[in-house]
Amino acid sequence: MTERLSEGQQAPAFTLPDSTGKQISLADYKGGKVIVYCYPAASTPGCTKQACDFTENLALLNDAGYAVLGVSPDKPEKLAKFITEENLTFPLLSDVDKTMMTAWGAFGEKKNYGKVVQGVIRSTFVVDEQGRIERALYNVRATGHVARLIKDLGV
């Protein structure tokens, strides 16, 4: 079973390429709050809905002091296409070998149509200014998740 992160725990460090190949680290966001969400695959219906919801609410989240990062196992080229096609306005990071997602408990056993499979567990994390996990949400639904997160954060 994949070990999950819990509130108050130090967020595991990572450095991943974005859609342009630029290396982005969690440490780049120290001193500010960041929402890191992990999703299975760019350009799929649920992942598109979730990414578009974050884009539509990005100004609100940014004004409340939150940056947003999306992480998937897609290659940077696929992320670049996804960003262009959907007019996304925040960084998407590539975790092809799933090292970051495994460390964060967002990759492992999950149920898919009643079968137990290995895969990305749709998850969202809120990391505080000191790099600690403020919220760790696993098995979130793509639809309505961003609205619920905004409500829960009091934004």
**Residue 28's pLDDT band (cuts 50, 70, 90):** very high
Are the beta carbons of 108 and 2 closer than 8 angstroms?
Answer: yes
Residue 127 belongs to what H/E stretch? strand 123-127
Is 47 in the active site? yes
As a whole number of angstroms, the distance between CA 146 and CA 124 comes to 10
Confidence at residue 16, expressed as pLDDT on a 0 to 100 scale: 98
Residue tagged active-site, from 16, 38, 47, 80: 47
Domains and CATH numbers, the chain: 15-153 (3.40.30.10)
As a whole number of angstroms, the distance between CA 58 and CA 87 comes to 12
Sign of the Cα torsion 109, 113, 115, 118 reads negative
- Enter the pTM of the model: 0.94
Angle of CA points 63, 66, 70, to nearest 5°: 130
Confidence at residue 1, expressed as pLDDT on a 0 to 100 scale: 52
**Residue 94's pLDDT band (cuts 50, 70, 90):** very high
As a whole number of angstroms, the distance between CA 62 and CA 140 comes to 22
**Residue 116's pLDDT band (cuts 50, 70, 90):** confident
Confidence at residue 61, expressed as pLDDT on a 0 to 100 scale: 97
pLDDT above 70: residue 32: yes
Confidence at residue 111, expressed as pLDDT on a 0 to 100 scale: 76
| Backbone dihedral region for residue 114 (phi beyond 0: left; psi -120 to 50: alpha; all else: beta) | left
Mean pLDDT of the chain: 94
Residue 81 belongs to what H/E stretch? helix 76-86
Confidence at residue 99, expressed as pLDDT on a 0 to 100 scale: 96
Nearest to 133 by CA among 28, 57, 59, 36: 36
Confidence at residue 55, expressed as pLDDT on a 0 to 100 scale: 97
**Residue 112's pLDDT band (cuts 50, 70, 90):** confident
